[in-house]
């Protein structure tokens, strides 16, 4: 064999060896079950002291938001019957009756609804609406301004701010605004925290409620339990043996001192105390849909005083 | 042997082996008793404490909660409703039909079920009985005043007793309610009626309507609009409810040229001489009238009398044929007014038929005739200010004008009536109004009374256009307008109908009819005032016979300008008739005359109608049948679900023509347990929208959203509800009372998407970008998943890739093949092998996570060495050559 031919053959052989692995991966499709990664291991729910519930109203439909206004009046948002001030049903039509959150700000009560943000006087008088027709899931006060989380992003004082994420929940921790989405948690500063990666990953990225916790937030998910999200750390999911306790309810999160409360769709009321997740002993309301200081709403339309 | 032939044989067998249950209260011969049997009730239950002597029907616990929906579940072309089957068995002798209708209701849910079904019957049906069967138990009805019957029914319903209530909404529209059908149970409701079979132009016509067309209710309101506008099966969906019809013609030799107009039938003759007609196997969809016609065999008497002893009284039915057809010596000029319904329900085939009919009728006009064309829907439109002469140019212009008409809008029929009948009469011409409509309205009484009001100005000819027309209205217009009626079905030629019309218009009319008696008298005659008879139209009078046992009646009148008379001998029936019906038919006619005598039925007439209903056991507007199971009880603690049984849209009628284009949108279209919302963008005429979700027992009202102009409903999908594509039932109630039923698919999805790696760099090189290509794919092990899970697994919304050095990237969707491409940036410090995490999410938020190992790039000594050797050899070779 002539040397030039031998050299070409040798170079070709080298190329084949070099490309072997690449060729291997070009095969389509991969018809074998991928190695699935487990989410965080489930754990037992602890117990805490029993809580007394006193029914104070029955609204006939799922309670989705609660607020004790500065004049002491209890306000309630409902799944599909609008806003109640005490027992009085307030003005609203169509999607404005699908209420998600209530906040008092600037001497008015604001209601986040699927039909925009409604503004009421403290006496229940209808003042107007903002973000008309825009489905709004969450409302918080941040740096003295009302911030709305909508399906088209965050609106500060009803002006768009930042990326057009689909917002499901909001929380304020110190000066930081945290944003819950169907794809994990975002810090308003830009950092993104998907919930599904890490050694204790969640089984879902869908965030339904946020509560400030440590330097970050606790995220209540649709069916993956709680997830602890802290800046600079991997997420830590808290998943429970009791399946329905892992199903959160939208907006059902409340911070009371060093205790964080969450409402679930079947697991009742969860409390995070000293790093443990517990439930009041003998708890009898399985579907907790709304929380406010001293108040609790359920899926059957009942409002209780705690 | 065809399946239809087998059905016919089965019918013959059934006739021979008919069961003795239940007895016919009036002694009528039993028809087919082939009611499907259901299991006997269990004798005990632990769910409720029954009262002494009662048995509680247990719920069937095998049904899961998600199967509660008795309404449709999975999307499909065929949809199951509570009504499973309608069996019709009819026996026709002479001009009288005895009919038995069995409706089979089944409760597929785990709730107690109440089924409500608005169903049609012939406009002259005298409903004489109702009973129901559960298993081997038969529960008979009693006739009560309507309010009392309703109370009886409601009380039984609340107690958990199975009960049935039959009410009359219109003479040809009834409501059947069946309460407390136990979970999984089947109830057979049997309704019996008799009616006269009309003879027209030498042919008898037996009609069984199978569906109720969607009726328009005018803006000024109809009190019972809700009860005459039952829901319709959604467009594009076929109900699994079917209808089977068997007709016995007795004696068979008396019926010649038997033919069905719109259905495939098979016929045969039994050894007893009964001619059988059975519906073909492939033609059992309840969306058009069953019309069977025949001619009497042999020579027919031009007049005869039938007598029967019924409830202690002698009843007589006189039948008179008008004189044999003679051509008129002179045909008086006519003013032809063609009134055409161009409302939405007439859109498409029915309107094309009406245009064809009017066009053919225009061509047949006499030289001295004038004509006017009026189209009406929500308003009326006239072709010209005044009637036009029959000239070639005018007729051509009329056809062009008519050709431009298209179906759309409501059916403000009163406006059309006034436009056609109210103008002053032309003294030189007889006004003939040809009224083409499907009759889908709810204010029949108003229309018929207006027709009667103007009867001196014109004769009205009602032409029903379509497969399931409102015959009560069409026939009523012909009767009240001193004209005649006809029905032209889909795909039927219009020329014969036009021929019949002109035969009536141009031939002499038998007028000024009077009855004189000799030896016997007929009182309480129905009709009280004898009508004029047109060519081909017989006179039928029913009354009570008083006086002697025999005699004769002399009928006199004027025909073609000359006196005319006819005598009919009457022999009263001495023997006891086994199945007398003349009393019932007389009562039915009497009720009709009381109903139409005045613009509104006053208290005295209402009392008279009620008395007749109670005496003759007849359903009327004021009397109903109610049957209550007194011994067995369905667990009243079970939730009670009410289902309205929808009617099929009549064949040839377009849903869009009636309901317009409604947009339904479920957002998001795929959901997992959570709280999405449903939006309905209904037509501007919508006034309310109700939604039935597959996981909810009852329908709920959607709220109108002013901002978007949509009806919206928020809902939760219960956790654990199985994956699948479900029908969301949506009822849109329009301002005219019409209820539009539609469905929209809703996908419940808890199956996470899965992705496969379809391309990647062979190894990861520190400091260099690393690209991964991913595509939704299935693992081999997933192939056994059902179709819904497969769909769920294949649909991906976003793909994330996470690397151990802390980088997380969204994969970008690229190219026509839908490849997700993720590019990672490994730092110089990375040490391998590297374990990547890939997370795929779908639109519902379901997540799948998988790992993917990538080697770090290694030195490849063999390849490098070979390359070096190759380069060296090549270099040496080159040097040697130079």
A99: domain CATH number is 2.130.10.10
Q: Scanning every residue of chain A, which has its alpha carbon at the shortest distance from the alpha carbon of B754? A: A34
User: Looking at the domain B661-748, which fold is it?
Assistant: Immunoglobulin-like (2.60.40)
Residue A167 belongs to some domain of the structure: yes
Rounded to whole angstroms, the Cα distance separating B412 from B423 reads: 18
Residues with Cβ < 8 Å from A12, sequence gap 6 or more? none
Confidence bin at B425 (pLDDT 50/70/90): confident
What mean pLDDT comes out for the span A41-61? 93
B216 Cβ contact list (under 8 Å, min separation 6) = B343, B345, B410, B411, B440, B441, B442, B736, B737, B738
Q: Domain segments of chain B: what residues?
A: 3-300+617-634, 303-325+509-599, 334-506, 661-748, 755-854
Give the model confidence (pLDDT) of B650-693 as tens digits. 998 877 766 666 666 665 555 554 567 888 888 777 888 888 88
Interface confidence (ipTM) of the complex: 0.82
B334-506 is a CATH 3.30.2290.10 domain: no
Architecture in CATH for domain B3-300+617-634: Sandwich (2.60)
User: Shortest Cα distance from A14 to chain B (angstroms)?
Assistant: 5
How far is B640 from chain A, CA to nearest CA, in Å?
19
- Tell me the nearest-neighbour CA distance from A88 into chain B, angstroms: 19
Q: Which of B703, B782, B852 to mutate to test the interface with A (most CBs of A within 10 A)?
A: B703
Residue B14 has pLDDT above 60, yes or no: no
Q: Which residues of chain A lie closer than 8 angstroms to B681, CB-CB?
A: none
Please give the interface size between A and B, counted as residue pairs whose CB atoms are below 8 Å apart. 178
pLDDT band at residue B699 under the 50/70/90 scheme: confident
Q: What is the dihedral of CA B859, B862, B864, B869, to 10 degrees?
A: 160
- Yes or no, beta carbons of A204 and B847 under 8 Å apart: yes
CATH fold match for the domains B334-506 and B755-854:
no
pLDDT exceeds 70 at position B736: no
CB B110 within 8 A of CB B65: yes
* Minimal CA separation from A228 to chain B, in Å: 17
In a domain, A11, yes or no: no
Neighbours of B394 (CB within 10 A): 17
The nearest CA of chain B is from the CA of A70 a distance in Å of: 30
Percent helix, strand and coil across chain A, each to the nearest 5: 10, 50, 40
Out of A37, A115, A223, name the one closest to residue B850 (CB): A37
DSSP three-state, residue A281: coil
Residues B88 and B210 sit within 8 Å (Cβ to Cβ) = no
Pick the CATH number of B755-854 from 2.60.40.10, 2.40.110.20, 3.40.50.880, 1.20.1370.20: 2.60.40.10
A60 has a pLDDT exceeding 80? yes
Task: Give contacts of B860 with chain A, Cβ < 8 Å.
Answer: 17-18
Residue A128 above 60 pLDDT? yes
Of B703, B800, B845, the CB nearest to A206: B845
Summary mean pLDDT of chain A? 89
A30, A93, A250 ranked by CB distance to B756: nearest: A30
Determine the pLDDT at residue B671.
Answer: 56
Q: Which residue range is the domain that position A209 belongs to?
A: 44-305
CB nearest to A30's CB, from B777, B808, B874? B777
Is A37 inside a domain boundary?
A: no
A203: chain B residues, CB-CB within 8 Å = 847, 849
Shortest distance between the Cα of B215 and any Cα of chain A, in A, equals 29
Cβ–Cβ below 8 Å for A95 and B779: no
Which residues in chain A have Cβ-Cβ distances shorter than 8 Å to B757? 25, 30
Q: Do B713 and A11 touch (CB under 8 A)?
A: no
Average of per-residue pLDDT across B164-181: 95
Q: Considering only CB atoms, which chain A residues are within 8 Å of B824? A: none
Predicted confidence at residue B46, as pLDDT, reads 25
Q: Work out the pLDDT band at B721, boundaries 50, 70, 90.
A: confident
Total domain count, chain A: 1
Phi-psi region of B737 (alpha: psi -120 to 50; beta: other; left: phi over 0): left
Among B677, B847, B874, select the one facing A205 at the smallest CB separation: B847
Q: Which residues of chain B are within 8 Å of residue A265 when distances are taken between CB atoms?
A: 673, 719
- What confidence tier does B85 reach under pLDDT thresholds 50, 70, 90? very high
Q: What is the mean pLDDT of residues B705-719?
A: 84
HSE at residue A55, side-chain half, CA atoms within 13 A, is 9
Q: Helices B392-403 & B349-363, crossing angle to 10 degrees? A: 180
- What separation in angstroms does the CA of B284 have from each of B35, B85, B87, B245, B247? 18, 10, 10, 9, 15
Q: Can you spell out the DSSP letters for B581-615?
A: -HHHHHHHHHHHHHHHSSSS--HHHHHHHHHHHHH
Per-residue pLDDT, B730: 84
pLDDT bracket for residue B68 (50, 70, 90):
very low
Query: A3-26 and B861-881 helices cross at what angle (nearest 10)?
Result: 150
Please work out, in degrees rounded to the nearest 5, the angle formed at the alpha carbon of residue B549 by the alpha carbons of B547 and B550: 100
Supply the pLDDT for residue B511: 85
Give A92-124 pLDDT, tens digit per residue. 888 999 999 999 999 999 999 999 999 999 999
Q: Could you tell me if B260 and B299 are in contact, meaning their C-beta atoms sit under 8 angstroms apart?
A: no
The pLDDT score that the predictor gives to residue A17 is: 58
Give a yes or no: residue A161 inside a domain. Answer: yes
Contact A31 B710 (CB under 8 A): no
CATH C-level class of B303-325+509-599 = mainly beta
| Least Cα separation, residue B278 to chain A (angstroms) | 53
Asked if B649 and B287 count as a contact pair (C-beta separation under 8 A), the reply is yes
- Tell me if A31 is assigned to some domain: no
Confidence of residue B485 (pLDDT cuts 50, 70, 90): very high
pLDDT of residue A26: 34
**Mutation site for B-interface testing, chosen from A19, A136, A194, A203 by largest number of B Cβ within 10 Å:** A194
Residue from A37, A92, A116, A203 to probe the interface with B (highest B Cβ count within 10 Å): A37
Confidence at A18, pLDDT banded by 50, 70, 90: low
Q: Do A95 and B708 touch (CB under 8 A)?
A: yes
Say if residue B137's pLDDT is above 60: yes
Q: pLDDT averaged over chain B?
A: 81
Give percent of chain B above pLDDT 90: 37
- The dihedral formed by the CA atoms of A216, A218, A222 and A224, expressed in degrees to the nearest 10: 100
Distance from CA of A11 to the nearest CA of B (A): 5
Contact B122, B188 (CB under 8 A): no
- Any bridge partners for residue B293, and if so which? B205, B259
Q: What's the pTM value of the predicted model, to 2 decimals?
A: 0.61
Instruction: Choose the closest CB to B762 out of A22, A94, A266.
Output: A22
- The region of weakest confidence among A10-24, A238-252, B177-191, B463-477 is A10-24
Contacts of B815 (CB under 8 A, 6+ apart): none
pLDDT-derived band at B597 (thresholds 50, 70, 90) equals low
Cα gap B340→B438, rounded to integer Å: 10
Contact B839 A194 (CB under 8 A): yes
Averaged pLDDT, A181-198: 90
Q: How far is CA B42 from CA A292, B46, B113, B137, B139, in A?
A: 51, 11, 18, 13, 18
Residue A133 lies in a domain: yes
Residues B675, A79: C-beta atoms closer than 8 Å: yes
């Amino acid at each position: 064999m002539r040397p030039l031919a031998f050299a070409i053959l040798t170079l070709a052989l080298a190329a084949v060896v070099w490309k072997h692995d690449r060729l291997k991966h070009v095969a389509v499709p991969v018809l074998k079950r991928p190695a699935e990664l487990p989410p965080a291991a489930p754990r037992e729910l602890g117990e805490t002291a029993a809580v007394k519930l006193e029914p104070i109203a029955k609204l006939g439909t799922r309670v989705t938001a609660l607020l004790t206004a500065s004049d002491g009046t209890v306000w309630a948002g409902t799944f599909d019957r609008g806003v109640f001030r005490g027992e009085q049903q307030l003005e609203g039509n169509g999607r404005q009756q699908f209420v998600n959150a209530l906040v008092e700000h600037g001497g008015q009560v604001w209601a986040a609804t699927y039909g925009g943000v409604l503004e009421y006087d403290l006496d229940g008088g209808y003042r107007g609406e903002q973000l008309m027709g825009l489905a709004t899931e969450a409302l918080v006060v941040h740096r003295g301004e009302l911030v709305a989380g909508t399906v088209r992003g965050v609106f500060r004082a009803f002006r768009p701010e930042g990326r057009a994420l689909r917002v499901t929940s909001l929380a304020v921790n110190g000066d930081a605004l945290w944003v819950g989405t169907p794809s994990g948690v975002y810090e308003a500063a830009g950092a993104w925290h998907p919930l599904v990666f890490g050694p204790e990953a969640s089984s879902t990225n869908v965030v339904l409620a946020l509560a400030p916790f440590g330097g970050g937030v606790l995220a209540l998910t649709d069916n993956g339990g709680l997830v602890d999200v802290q800046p600079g750390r991997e997420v830590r999911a808290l998943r429970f043996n009791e399946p329905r306790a892992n199903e959160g309810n939208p907006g059902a999160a409340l911070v009371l001192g060093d205790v964080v409360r969450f409402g679930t769709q079947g697991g009742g009321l969860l409390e995070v105390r000293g790093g443990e997740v517990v439930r009041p002993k003998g708890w009898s309301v399985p579907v907790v849909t709304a929380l406010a200081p001293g108040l609790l709403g359920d899926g059957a339309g009942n409002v209780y005083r705690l | 042997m065809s399946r239809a032939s087998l059905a016919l044989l089965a019918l013959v067998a059934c006739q021979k082996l008919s069961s003795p249950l239940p007895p016919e209260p009036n002694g009528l011969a039993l028809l087919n008793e082939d009611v499907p049997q259901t299991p006997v009730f269990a004798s005990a239950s632990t769910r409720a404490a029954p009262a002494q002597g009662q048995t509680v029907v247990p719920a069937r616990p095998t049904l899961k909660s998600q199967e509660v929906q008795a309404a449709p579940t999975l999307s499909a072309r065929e949809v199951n409703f509570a009504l499973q089957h309608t069996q019709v068995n009819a026996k026709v002798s002479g001009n009288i039909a005895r009919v038995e209708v069995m409706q089979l209701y089944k409760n597929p849910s785990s709730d107690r079920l109440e089924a409500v079904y608005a169903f049609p019957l012939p406009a002259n049906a005298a409903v004489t009985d109702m009973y129901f069967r559960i298993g081997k138990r038969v529960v008979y009805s009693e006739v009560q005043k309507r309010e009392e019957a309703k109370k009886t029914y409601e009380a039984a319903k609340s107690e958990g007793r199975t009960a049935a209530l039959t009410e009359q909404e219109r003479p040809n529209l009834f409501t059947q309610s069946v309460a407390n059908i136990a979970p999984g149970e089947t109830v057979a409701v049997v309704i019996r009626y008799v009616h006269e079979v009309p003879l027209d132009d030498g042919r008898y016509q037996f009609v069984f309507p199978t569906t109720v067309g969607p009726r328009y209710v005018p803006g000024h309101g109809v009190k019972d609009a809700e009860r005459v506008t039952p829901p319709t099966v959604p467009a594009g969906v076929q109900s699994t409810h079917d209808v089977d019809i068997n007709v016995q013609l007795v004696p068979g030799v008396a019926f010649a040229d038997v033919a069905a107009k719109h259905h495939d039938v098979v016929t045969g003759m039994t050894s007893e001489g009964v001619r059988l007609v059975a519906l073909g196997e492939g033609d059992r969809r309840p969306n058009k009238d069953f019309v069977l016609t025949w001619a009497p065999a042999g020579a027919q008497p031009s007049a005869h009398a039938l007598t029967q002893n019924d409830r202690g009284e002698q009843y007589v039915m006189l039948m008179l044929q008008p004189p044999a057809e003679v051509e008129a010596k002179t045909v008086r000029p006519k003013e032809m007014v063609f009134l055409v319904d161009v409302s939405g329900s007439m859109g498409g085939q029915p309107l094309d038929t009406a245009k064809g009919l009017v066009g053919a009728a225009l061509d047949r006009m006499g030289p001295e005739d004038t004509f006017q064309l009026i189209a009406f829907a929500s308003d009326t439109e006239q072709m010209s200010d005044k009637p036009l002469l029959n000239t070639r140019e005018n007729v051509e212009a009329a056809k062009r004008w008519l050709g431009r008409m298209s179906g759309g809008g409501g059916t403000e029929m009163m406006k059309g009536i006034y436009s056609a009948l109210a103008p002053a009469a032309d003294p030189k011409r007889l006004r003939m109004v040809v009224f083409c409509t499907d009759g889908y309205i709810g204010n029949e009484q108003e229309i018929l009374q207006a027709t009667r009001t103007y009867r001196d100005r014109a004769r009205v000819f009602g032409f029903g256009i379509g497969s399931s027309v409102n015959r009560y209205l069409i026939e009523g217009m012909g009767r009240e307008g001193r004209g005649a009626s006809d029905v032209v079905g889909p795909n039927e030629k219009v020329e014969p109908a036009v021929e019949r019309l002109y035969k009536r218009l141009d031939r002499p009319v038998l007028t000024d009819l009077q009855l004189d008696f000799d030896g016997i008298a007929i009182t309480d005659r129905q009709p009280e005032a004898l009508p004029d008879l047109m060519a081909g139209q017989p006179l039928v009078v029913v009354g009570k016979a008083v006086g002697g046992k025999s005699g004769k009646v002399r009928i006199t009148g004027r025909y073609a300008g000359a006196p005319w008379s006819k005598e009919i001998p009457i022999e009263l029936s001495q023997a006891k008739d086994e199945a007398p019906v003349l009393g019932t038919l007389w009562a039915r006619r009497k009720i009709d005359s009381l109903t139409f005598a005045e613009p509104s039925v006053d208290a005295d007439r209402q009392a008279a109608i009620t008395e007749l209903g109670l005496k003759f056991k007849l359903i009327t507007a004021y009397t109903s049948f109610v049957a209550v199971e007194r011994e067995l009880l369905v667990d009243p603690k079970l939730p009670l679900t009410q289902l309205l049984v929808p009617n099929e849209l009549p064949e040839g009628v377009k849903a869009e023509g009636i309901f317009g284009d409604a947009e339904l949108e479920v957002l998001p279209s795929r959901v997992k347990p959570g709280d999405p919302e449903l939006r309905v963008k209904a037509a501007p005429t919508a006034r309310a929208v109700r939604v039935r979700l597959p996981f909810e027992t009852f329908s709920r009202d959607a709220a109108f959203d002013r901002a978007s102009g949509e009806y919206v409903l928020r809902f939760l999908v219960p956790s654990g509800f199985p994956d699948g594509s479900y029908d969301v039932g949506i009822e849109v109630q329009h301002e005219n009372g019409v209820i539009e039923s539609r469905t929209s698919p809703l996908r419940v999805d808890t199956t996470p998407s899965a992705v496969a790696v379809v391309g990647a760099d062979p190894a990861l090189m520190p400091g260099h970008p690393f690209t991964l290509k991913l595509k939704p794919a299935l693992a081999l092990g997933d192939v056994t998943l059902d179709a819904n899970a497969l769909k769920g697994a294949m649909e991906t919304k976003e793909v994330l890739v996470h690397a151990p050095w802390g980088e997380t990237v969204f994969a970008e969707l690229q190219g026509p093949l839908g490849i997700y491409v993720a590019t990672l940036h490994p730092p110089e410090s990375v040490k391998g092998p590297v374990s990547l995490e890939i997370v795929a999410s779908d639109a519902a938020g379901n997540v799948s996570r998988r790992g993917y190992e990538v080697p770090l790039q290694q030195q490849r000594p063999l390849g490098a060495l070979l390359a070096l050797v190759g380069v060296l050899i090549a270099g040496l070779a080159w040097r040697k050559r130079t």
